[in-house]
């Protein structure tokens, strides 16, 4: 772990873009804060800004700006390296990493939220997975529930393991159990990866604040890495 990172730090990463990382991150950070744990989400780079702003979503969900930080924001809705190239912006991996380290260290529990999938280009030849590995964080992987998730999720866990990143849990998001694929994917992923799988059923998200109680009701506290559960008491 980074010398400056909080001992309770972990990452929420995805198998792809749009799988629900931000909602899960908001729910977990809000859950911790409701239980008196000083928790903060950190987004290394936000693209598609505006209107997309994942850190703002987390802050609104937790009803405080203290709940989230974003290091860099870029307008094009593309991978960070590509977005920066398109507009001639200068991104520094060292600056992003150091910014994440500082932000994660400011809270009792820091939660790094990934950008798209783990192999998304971040800066130069660095990818999201490089940042997670360099910060030495365990990961919670968010994935789709339906057909096709076995391949994407297993490859994500495998890629993380190859970089020395331990996947603590997988969250199959928007689980409905309406198909054989959905009903069997959890057990099959556990067999394939050896990682515990949690299912997060769909819920109404009228406002960001709905994410916290909804995630808390639907996920078991075992979704948190061991050191974070100790902070919960």
pLDDT in tens, the chain (233 residues): 444 445 789 999 999 999 999 999 999 999 999 999 999 999 999 999 999 999 999 999 999 999 999 999 999 999 999 999 999 999 999 999 999 999 999 999 999 999 999 999 999 999 999 999 999 999 999 999 999 999 999 999 999 999 999 999 999 999 999 999 999 999 999 999 999 999 999 999 999 999 999 999 999 999 999 989 988 87
The answer as to whether 233 is a domain residue is no
The answer as to whether 88 is a domain residue is yes
pLDDT of amino acid 189: 98
CATH code of the domain containing 184: 3.40.50.300
pLDDT of amino acid 6: 55
Supply 67's token pair. Answer: 């709940």
Is residue 3 annotated as involved in ligand binding? no
Q: What angle do CA 149, 155, 156 make, to 5 degrees?
A: 85
Task: Check 33, 40, 43, 97 and give the catalytic one.
Answer: 43
* 93: annotated active-site residue: no
pLDDT of amino acid 4: 41
Is residue 18 annotated as involved in ligand binding? yes
Question: Which structural domain, as residue segments, surrounds residue 192?
Answer: 10-228
Is residue 179 annotated as involved in ligand binding? no
Is residue 177 annotated as involved in ligand binding? no
The answer as to whether 5 is a domain residue is no
pLDDT of amino acid 145: 98
The answer as to whether 164 is a domain residue is yes
Is residue 54 annotated as involved in ligand binding? yes
C-alpha to C-alpha distance for 137 and 227, rounded to whole angstroms: 12
What lies within 8 Å, CB to CB, of 170 at 6+ separation is 140, 141, 142, 143, 153, 157, 189, 193, 195, 196, 197, 198
The answer as to whether 3 is a domain residue is no
C-alpha to C-alpha distance for 178 and 51, rounded to whole angstroms: 33
pLDDT of amino acid 231: 83
Q: Model pTM? A: 0.96
pLDDT of amino acid 3: 41
Helix 54-62 crosses helix 21-34 at what angle (to 10 degrees)? 30
C-alpha to C-alpha distance for 122 and 44, rounded to whole angstroms: 9
Query: What's the number of domains the chain is made of?
Result: 1
The answer as to whether 4 is a domain residue is no
Looking at the DSSP bridge assignments, the partners of residue 123 are 126
The answer as to whether 218 is a domain residue is yes
Is residue 151 annotated as involved in ligand binding? no
Instruction: Say which DSSP state 17 is in.
Output: T
pLDDT of amino acid 230: 86
Helix 54-62 crosses helix 211-218 at what angle (to 10 degrees)? 80
Is residue 98 annotated as involved in ligand binding? no
Is residue 21 annotated as involved in ligand binding? yes
The answer as to whether 90 is a domain residue is yes
């Amino acid at each position: 772990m980074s010398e400056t990172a909080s001992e309770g730090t972990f990452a929420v990463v995805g198998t792809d873009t749009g799988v629900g990382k931000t909602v899960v991150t908001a729910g977990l950070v809000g859950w911790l804060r409701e239980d008196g744990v000083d928790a903060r989400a950190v987004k290394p780079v936000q693209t598609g800004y505006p209107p997309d702003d994942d850190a703002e979503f987390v802050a609104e969900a937790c009803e405080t700006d203290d709940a989230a930080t974003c290091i860099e924001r870029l307008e094009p809705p593309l991978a960070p390296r590509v977005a920066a190239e398109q507009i001639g912006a200068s991104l520094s991996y060292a600056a992003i990493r150091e910014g994440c380290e500082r932000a994660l260290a400011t809270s009792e529990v820091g939660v790094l939220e990934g950008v798209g999938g783990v192999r998304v280009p971040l800066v130069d030849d660095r990818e999201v997975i490089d940042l997670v590995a360099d910060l030495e964080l365990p990961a919670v992987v968010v994935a789709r529930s339906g057909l096709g998730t076995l391949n994407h999720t297993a490859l994500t866990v495998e890629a993380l393991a190859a970089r020395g990143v331990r996947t603590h849990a997988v969250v199959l998001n928007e689980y409905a159990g309406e198909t054989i694929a959905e009903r069997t994917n959890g057990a099959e992923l556990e067999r394939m990866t050896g990682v515990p799988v949690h299912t997060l059923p769909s819920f109404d998200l009228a406002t960001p604040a709905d994410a916290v109680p909804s995630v808390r009701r639907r996920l078991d506290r075992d979704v948190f890495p061991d050191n974070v559960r100790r902070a919960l008491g």
